[in-house]
Structure 1
Amino acid sequence: MTKAPFVAMSAATAALGTALGSLALQLRSAGYEQYVESVTTFSVLMYITSALVLVTWARDGRPHAN
């Protein structure tokens, strides 16, 4: 496969993770502690998803055995 779908997907999920991390910091400073853990967990999940997309891209680039 081409590089573009994997790079775009990885960049989008990493950007979402960054946005959610920023939201978690804003929620903490505004006093909404009950939501911080959930948003932070989802942010970390987006970073993990981004890394797994890159691993998928790297594995897809290898030759396939029959």
Structure 2
Amino acid sequence: MTKGPFVAMAAATATLGTALGALALQLRAEGYEQYVESVATFSVLMFVTAVLTVVTWVRDGRPRAN
């Protein structure tokens, strides 16, 4: 497979994770504590998804053994 889709998805999910992390910090600063945990959890989930996408890309590029 080409690396385009993998790079695009990893970059998009990492960007979304960063934006959600910033939003969680802003929510905490403004006193919306009831939303911070769920937004932070989703932020971490986006970073994990980005890492797993990169792992999939690396594993896809490896030669296949018979």
TM over 0.5: yes
- Whole-angstrom CA distance in 2 between matches of 1:64 and 1:5: 21
Report the RMSD for the aligned CA atoms in angstroms.
0.7
Q: Percent identity?
A: 77
Per the normalisation by structure 1, the TM-score is 0.96
Q: Deviation per CA, 1:21-41, whole angstroms, max 9, x where unpaired? A: 000011001100000000000
- Consecutive aligned runs of 4 or more in structure 1 exceeding 2 Å deviation: none
Where does the alignment leave 5 or more consecutive residues of structure 2 unmatched? none
Per the normalisation by structure 2, the TM-score is 0.96
Where does the alignment leave 5 or more consecutive residues of structure 1 unmatched? none
Q: 1:64: Cα distance to partner?
A: 2.0
* Number of residue pairs the alignment of both structures matches: 66
